[in-house]
Amino acid sequence: MTHLHSDHTAGYPDLILTGWIAGRHTPLEVYGPTGLQSMTEHILQAYRIDIETRTNPEGGQRANPEGWKVNAHETKTGVIYKDAKVTVTAFPTQHAMESYGYRFDTPDRSIVISGDTSPTEETIKACNGCDVLIHEARTLELFSKLPEERRAFGAKNHTTSEQLAALATKAKPNLLIIYHAWIAWGPSAVPSGQQPVALSTGAFHSSPDVLLKEIGLRYSGQFVIGRDLDVY
């Protein structure tokens, strides 16, 4: 987890419990900022009756007794996980709470994800020519529509398309994937056979064409707007 805002953690109980019900037999290993352990403990307490019922031999469901458990690791900057296939390194980012980005080094590729953040030198250093940089951005058009207080929050805690173009020019990823952009996909912007997916903040949103234009005018590297289930 990059940070503990609700729009990034509301699916956490589902990850814990549905994975267990679907057959996970070992505790889930989770890494994230300070507060993750407390959040995890309270989620498990909230679902105590469900867990007890599913593990009760007399209840008939007989879910395995270990898969609901979670090992929550509260991480700091540096290498937080390493095995034969991947090394994960956390670096600090700038958001409204304690937050981290992560670099994943594998035998064939290096991938950096920013999480929610304003542009930082730490992100540039973490990438440093990485294969893939996955970074949040919001269009300048969106910022111009926001009320003043939300615009001020965004300026401190998020990244505009203009700022991301400048950051990526310094970081030099082979591929930049833009996400969390609060764009609204219209039918004409969605490939045949797929359903349009709206990402918006109520009345405040931009189109993918606006984001593509704003980045393209300022950044000469390869980039795409990320969407669920895309493969790169």
Q: What is the pLDDT of residue 190?
A: 46
The predicted-structure confidence for 164-198, as pLDDT tens digits, reads as follows: 999 999 999 999 999 976 666 554 444 445 444 44
Q: Within the chain, which residues score under 50 in pLDDT?
A: 187-192, 194-202
Does 132 lie in the same domain as 21? no
Residue 1 lies in a domain: no
Residue 95 lies in a domain: yes
Q: What is the CATH number of the domain that holds 85?
A: 3.60.15.10
Q: What is the pLDDT of residue 205?
A: 67
Tell the burial category of 223 from Cβ atoms under 10 Å away from its Cβ (0-12, 13-18, 19+).
buried
Q: What is the pLDDT of residue 182?
A: 66
Residue 166 lies in a domain: yes
Does 140 lie in the same domain as 173? yes
Instruction: Select from 47, 74, 101 the last residue of a domain.
Output: 74
Instruction: Select from 51, 74, 97 the last residue of a domain.
Output: 74
Does 82 lie in the same domain as 49? no
Q: What is the pLDDT of residue 184?
A: 60
Does 67 lie in the same domain as 82? no
The residue segments making up the domain with residue 221 are 78-225
How many CB atoms sit inside 10 A of residue 44's CB? Answer: 18
Q: How many domains are there within the chain?
A: 2
